[in-house]
């Protein structure tokens, strides 16, 4: 296992950015993405499970959801796998913090800003986006003038960021380099040897996890590997029938690797969804 946690896993991402003691890391990261007039000094975490207005409507579960003292709402998502209609999903998710601002009784409809920030571990299939590592999106009119300054989207296509340590030119690029390469780093690079990243590396060090956290991270990592292998294999097959074959093939191959590493049978069954007999065979 690597020295540092993989931030693309559910456990790793929330360990770095979703804990009260680490809010300063999230604030520092967000301020690299936000305009000057929406820079934040503190944050309050909110419940990540968002319930709909009506019982039969669909709910949403965010990776991280927080609000600043000034009222700005921030949804931060680590999207690990390519999915259809991701932009539609982003827009749908952004409606929850909008609707929850509605006040009972008389209300003039004044809203606070909402930011949806997505860190993507894949390249979207939209040809227009294929060469853009970072996309900042807001509502503009037909002349390109800003129409509304309270709904913003930021998409980071991480596979398109390929700068080396020597090429990093600002704090934002340092954060992106840190997130993309953390799981493969063994020694803190000199360019990241500053307080905020020193703390991030300390939090991310696997050896510093408590036993229960280490088990949670291991399962989260196995789930990430399984899902990634399944999706990559299915995508390579390119057809619906191939996706089913690719998924089965990827799960069996991962089960074989996990078994060779001495991973407990019940853990392999839970992560891959395979039966005991399939794993033993």
Q: What pLDDT score does 133 carry?
A: 92
- Residue 271 in any domain: the answer is yes
Residues 231 and 103 in one domain: no
* pLDDT tens per residue, range 149-201: 999 999 999 999 999 999 999 999 999 999 999 999 999 999 999 999 999 99
Number of structural domains (the chain) is 2
Residues 135 and 252 in one domain: no
- Residue 166 in any domain: the answer is yes
* pLDDT tens per residue, range 35-78: 988 899 999 998 776 555 544 455 566 789 999 998 999 999 98
Residues 136 and 233 in one domain: no
What is the number of residues in the chain? Answer: 281
Question: Distances from the Cα of 38 to the Cαs of 18, 74, 149, in angstroms?
Answer: 20, 11, 10
Q: What pLDDT score does 255 carry?
A: 81
Per-residue pLDDT, averaged over 129-142, amounts to 88
Residues 101 and 225 in one domain: no
- Residue 3 in any domain: the answer is no
Residues 30 and 163 in one domain: yes
Residues 158 and 266 in one domain: no
Q: pLDDT class for 127, splitting at 50, 70, 90? A: low
* pLDDT tens per residue, range 232-278: 666 666 544 455 666 677 778 778 877 887 788 887 887 777 888 88
Residues 102 and 220 in one domain: no
- Residue 106 in any domain: the answer is yes
Q: pLDDT class for 138, splitting at 50, 70, 90? A: very high
Reported as half-sphere exposure (CB side, CA atoms, 13 A), residue 180 has a value of 21
Residues 240 and 260 in one domain: yes
Q: What pLDDT score does 240 carry?
A: 47
Domain extent at residue 71: 10-207
* pLDDT tens per residue, range 74-114: 999 988 777 778 889 899 989 989 988 988 888 899 999 99
Q: What pLDDT score does 107 carry?
A: 86
3-state helix/strand/coil string of the chain:
CCCECCCCCHHHHHHHHCCHHHHHHHHHHHHCCCCHHHCCCCCEECCCEECCCCCCCCCEECCEEEECCCCCEEEEEEECCCCCCHHHHHHHHHHHHHHCCCCCCCCCCCCCCEEEEEEECCCCCCHHHCCCCEEEEEEECCCCCEEEEEEEEEEEEHHHCCCCHHHCCCHHHHHHHHHHHHHHCCCCCHHHCCHHHHHHHHHHEHHHCCHHHHHHHHHHHHHHHHHHHHHHHHHHHCCHHHHHHHHHHHHHHHHHHHHHCCCCHHHHHHHHCCCHHHHHC
Point out the domain boundary residue: 177, 207, 237: 207
User: In the predicted model, is pLDDT for residue 125 greater than 60?
Assistant: yes
- Residue 186 in any domain: the answer is yes
- Residue 29 in any domain: the answer is yes
Point out the domain boundary residue: 161, 177, 207: 207
CA pair distance 74, 89, nearest whole angstrom: 15
Which pTM value belongs to this model? 0.80
Residues 197 and 222 in one domain: no
- Residue 140 in any domain: the answer is yes
Q: What pLDDT score does 232 carry?
A: 66
- Residue 273 in any domain: the answer is yes
Q: What pLDDT score does 268 carry?
A: 80
Residues 89 and 227 in one domain: no
Residues 126 and 252 in one domain: no
Q: What pLDDT score does 147 carry?
A: 95
Longest dimension (CA), the chain: 66
Per-residue pLDDT, averaged over 134-152, amounts to 94
Residues 159 and 266 in one domain: no
Per-residue pLDDT, averaged over 12-22, amounts to 93
Q: What pLDDT score does 239 carry?
A: 45
Point out the domain boundary residue: 207, 230, 255: 207
For residue 256 the two structure tokens come to 């074989």
* pLDDT tens per residue, range 199-241: 999 999 999 999 999 999 988 888 888 777 766 666 666 544 4
């Amino acid at each position: 296992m690597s020295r540092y946690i993989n931030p693309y896993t559910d456990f790793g991402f929330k360990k770095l950015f979703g804990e009260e003691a680490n809010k300063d890391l999230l604030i520092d990261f967000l301020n690299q993405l936000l305009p000057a007039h929406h820079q934040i000094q503190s944050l309050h975490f909110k419940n990540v499970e968002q319930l709909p207005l009506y019982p039969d409507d669909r709910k949403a579960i965010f990776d991280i959801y927080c609000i600043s003292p000034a009222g700005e709402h921030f949804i931060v998502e680590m999207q690990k796998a390519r999915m259809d209609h991701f932009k539609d999903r982003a827009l749908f998710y952004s409606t929850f913090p909008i609707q929850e601002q509605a006040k009972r009784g008389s209300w003039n409809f004044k809203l606070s800003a909402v930011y949806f920030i997505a860190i993507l571990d894949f390249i979207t299939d939209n040809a227009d986006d294929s060469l853009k590592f970072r996309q900042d999106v807001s509502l503009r009119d037909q002349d390109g003038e800003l129409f509304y300054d309270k709904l913003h989207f930021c998409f980071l296509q991480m596979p398109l960021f390929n700068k080396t340590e020597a090429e990093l030119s600002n704090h934002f690029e340092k954060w992106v380099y840190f997130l993309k390469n953390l799981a493969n780093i063994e020694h803190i690079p000199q360019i990241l040897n500053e307080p905020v990243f020193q703390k991030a590396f300390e939090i991310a060090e696997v050896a510093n996890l408590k036993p229960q956290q280490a088990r949670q991270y291991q399962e989260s990592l196995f789930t990430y590997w399984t899902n990634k292998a399944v999706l990559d294999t299915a995508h390579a097959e390119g057809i619906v029938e191939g996706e089913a074959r690719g998924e089965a093939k990827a799960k069996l191959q991962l089960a074989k690797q996990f078994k060779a590493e001495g991973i407990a049978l019940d853990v392999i069954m839970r992560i891959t969804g395979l039966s005991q007999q399939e794993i033993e065979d």
